[in-house]
Structure 1
Amino acid sequence: MTRNRQILLMSRPDPALGPTEENFALVEAPMPRPAPGEVLLETLFLSLDPYMRARMYAGANYAASATLGAPMVGNTVSRIVASEAEGHAPGEIVESAHGWQAFAAVPAKGLRKIDPTIAPVSTALGVLGMPGQTGYTALVRHGRPQPGDTVLVSAASGAVGTVVGQTARELGARAVGIAGGAAKCAFLTDELGFDAAIDHRAPDFAQRLAAACPEGVTIYFDNTGGPITAAVLPLLAPEARLLVCGTVSVDRDRPGQPQSGPGMQELLSLALVKRLTIKGFIYTDADLMALEPEFRATVSAWVRDGRMRYREDIVDGLEAAPRAFLGLFRGANFGKLLVRVAAE
């Protein structure tokens, strides 16, 4: 290979339309060369995640906007093909954050080496990566599930939600998932051991949800916001914990678009009357990062012995990334969404 392939973010989304494939461009660039202290990486898998939508826009967020004219941001699992850094050899597999491109020369410092004997290397972007770490650490730290609790999680068949529900089950709580479609709900109960799963597309969704949580919801792990959260609020038990992980159903950068969800006064009234704890978090928060060693040891062991199961939705080819990414917000994926850029 003498040329690199990249997908660049070429324009900000039109607030009237939201992100489209036209915001991206597939280009060829010279093959990068590693400088002293750097390694040349070949991307094997690229992670596609909901947070990327907010990074496409300009303006304040918890992380900087993606740079126009540069490869779109994203984490990868990559193979070292050349090294100018001590302690890193060609053939090693590492996790990097060099975005939507086939090759990258990056500083070796900060790369996480991946042990392919634990699980397939793709899991470093899912169940054993940022999504899994987010679900496990936030539930343990902020949810504090105990036997007798009912843990409800939205987007439950996704990379975060599957870990949340299975962790709740391992800690003795009831696990109830919300997902889109019968196949995803069956996956949660039949394969992952959730106690119940509710299809949010069902016309009687609210009634089914109430029936699945007869004692109320003590911990709600919210990945969606919007109308799903509105249906959950009346079911929250006194002193319930509402953990806000994501708002995938709401594009907050499209203020002119109608958004359905709980009203502010409704939420505040419930918080007062039921003494709710509402906690937003980012997985890099110091108190969550302190649990990273526990997460890696615990969940790796669960994966090895089959107690923690996972599903990956893999599309092939870097050029497939924009369309697959946009499908995230229609619920088109089933499991952790990855792009296979090169063969392992």
Structure 2
Amino acid sequence: MLRFQEIGGSLEATLSQGITKSLAERPSEFHLLPTASAWECLLRCWSDGVFLRELAHRFWKLSLQIIARYCTWIEEVWEEKWLSESSPFTNDTNLAPSEGTQSDRLLFLVYLHADIESFADKLKHFSAMTSTRLDGVSPQTCEKLYHSIEESKQQLLSRLPIVTQFILGEVSSQSLSQLRQVNDIPRLFRRTNRDIPTKPCPYVAAVLAPPLSFHKAYREVVGADQLQRWLTLIFSAITQQFYSSVNDVLTSVQKTEESLRRLKKVRDRLSTTTPSEGKGLGDDDKIRQQLVLDVQNFCEGVESVDVKKDDVDKLLELLNLVEAARSKSDLPKL
């Protein structure tokens, strides 16, 4: 009983320290202390000097409880509030408190995802690790025991999609807030006599910055395939909102254009002078041109991290949307 209490108490002490104290000391097989502690407790259950053959069933039960407690801890940390002031994750003093907290949380979530995968991978070899301790146990019983570990592993892996959702939310939310500037584009050109735009608006770089920084920061932490999947989902979330914003602007531009055209016809009919021909590109065409430049620049950013345009939801539709709008105007192709 003392052994069980000691092992369980050791794990509980680590899990109760909170997120901000969960960064593992290097070198370690895992990024987070709770993961390392859970695995260490599992190994202790079956180590020399601790394991007792006559209590094999109790040690097996304790092993399952350790995995279950780790799974519960994962769910608990989703609800835990972050205090960036006491966090060891970020050392950048130039970040504002909210930025530091967001960066800390993202780093923790990526580490958590990597740890869950590593922990589950190690459980694949748990049967071989414990087989020498189960001499004399019937094959049927052993199979049931190993099946219970497999079930625990699947329970652990079932947390990955939710961790992924949190990761995607952390990155994409930073970009989505920048897309509000799409609605400001008409104001840049209406009655301002601006030149025809030749470069994308600054907001595009701000939209791209979070996913591109994410790629740079974590390409050494997670596998290339996993990172590409995340980036594809992140860009998909951003593009869906981008499409909606651009579509709203183009719809508004078209309505304004039609209204002005009707007004001009009325004025021309009432005027005794010859209707004047339009000179140069109108404000609406400049707005469309700006949107084309912005969307094309966004696509270049997506492809710069080897994400295919075809894999990003609504991206091809977004390109077609601005190209179709341009084809109806007097704009030349870029």
TM-score, with length taken from structure 2: 0.25
Greater share of helix? 2
Greater share of strand? 1
TM-score, with length taken from structure 1: 0.25
